Amino acid sequence: MTTVTEADVLRDALGLLKDREQVAKRLLDSSAKHSFDPDSELDWDTPYEEGKWFWPPELVSLYDTPLWQRMSEEQRILLSQHEAAALASLGIWFEIILMQLLVRHIYDKAATSAHVRYALTEIEDECRHSKMFARLIAHGDTPWYPVSRAHRNLGRVFKTISTTPGSFTATLLGEEVLDWMQRLTFPDERVQSLVRGVTRIHVVEEARHVRYAREELRRQMVTAPRWSQEFTRVTSGEFARVFSVAFVNPEVYPNVGLDKREALAQVKASGHRREVMQTGAKRLTDFLDDIGVLRGVGRRLWRSSGLLA
């Protein structure tokens, strides 16, 4: 029988810290080379083009439903515009939560470390992204779509009680599903050029954020106390349920002349929509399964969210 000594534990911990610093240094180098200022990078004076989508039609919530079949092409495009604005609004809400979680994460860590310097760099990125999303919403004829009051209050609770691994799990949930959709959006010539530009910037910079969160979460699920790991499994599953609901803002439907109740019922029943969400989350759920997050009650909650097949 092999005995694990204090020296073994210390050596493993030092190895994890060294790896953390190496990852952060590479991400800092990448940030220096591949960061964008959306205010100068994008042409905000260009008017929207007639007949172009604001989101790939296959990613619009009602795609391939009976209601979609009854809608005119003009109404479908209008729905894509409102859903793009709703997703930008969701992105702002989520990134503000993420920035607060990152500040909490680095609060008592050495400010001279590359790990903390990269966290501060990511906060800079997220500030620019939130301003970019807000400007995109204001550029069109759509309103800002805040999440529900219940979700805002749940966000406040989550920010207060979240463990460090729980925070990074939620970070990945918010980033990876939307990132998958945006990777389909920015090369799609059917989509408005300004929207494509916004998604391109977000995809490039979010790739670094995902790497940072994945590497830290992998370390945390090894080093965190057992109670923290179990708490992370449950809270991440509950956050997946909240996120999957918040991904569709019901107010978009009456704003494009549709019945809210009928539209929500068809989205809920849509096999295509369920496949889109599960495909968008699969890379993340495979990773979470690999590092031990998707277990027990947490796994059942992830299944009930519709993001895990």
CA–CA distance, 282 with 302 (Å, rounded to integer): 12
Domain range for residue 205? 15-305
In the chain, the number of structural domains is 1
CA–CA distance, 240 with 302 (Å, rounded to integer): 6
**pLDDT for position 160:** 87
In a domain, 2, yes or no: no
CA–CA distance, 239 with 302 (Å, rounded to integer): 9
In a domain, 114, yes or no: yes
**pLDDT for position 11:** 41
Name the token pair of 223: 């080093």
In a domain, 188, yes or no: yes
**pLDDT for position 13:** 44
Name the token pair of 57: 């039609």
CA–CA distance, 12 with 85 (Å, rounded to integer): 46
In a domain, 7, yes or no: no
In a domain, 10, yes or no: no
CATH classification of the domain holding 189: 1.10.620.20
In a domain, 6, yes or no: no
* pTM of this structure: 0.90
**pLDDT for position 15:** 52
- Number of residues written out for the chain: 309
What is the pLDDT tens value at each position of the chain, 309 positions in all? 444 344 433 444 445 567 899 999 999 999 999 999 999 999 999 899 999 999 999 999 999 999 999 999 999 999 999 999 999 999 999 999 999 999 999 999 999 999 999 999 999 999 999 999 999 999 988 999 999 999 999 889 988 888 889 889 988 998 999 999 999 999 999 999 999 999 999 999 999 999 999 999 999 999 899 999 999 999 899 889 988 999 999 999 999 999 999 999 999 999 999 999 999 999 999 999 999 999 999 999 999 999 998
